[in-house]
Amino acid sequence: MPDARDVYRRHAEQYDLLVAREDHAGNLLKAIRELVPLEGADAGALLLRPGAC
């Protein structure tokens, strides 16, 4: 697993692509909740749902 310095030094382009899509407006969780009930769910079960990935 790379540390922060390694990420910035060796993976800067990929990191920039990742943070450029950050949910700064806070819309992602609302959109997910409209699609999938999250109360009582665990992350593993949500990822195993058909079409989740």
pLDDT given at position 52: 58
Distance CA 37, CA 3 (A): 34
pLDDT in tens, 8-46: 899 899 989 888 888 888 898 898 889 888 888 777 766
Q: What is the distance between the alpha carbons of residues 24 and 38, in angstroms, rounded to a whole number?
A: 21
CB–CB of 20/30 below 8 Å? no
pLDDT given for residue 53 in this prediction: 55
pLDDT at position 20 is 87
Look up tokens 């909740």; give the residue: 33
Q: Distance between CA atoms of 51 and 11, rounded to whole angstroms?
A: 29
Residue 51's pLDDT is what? 63
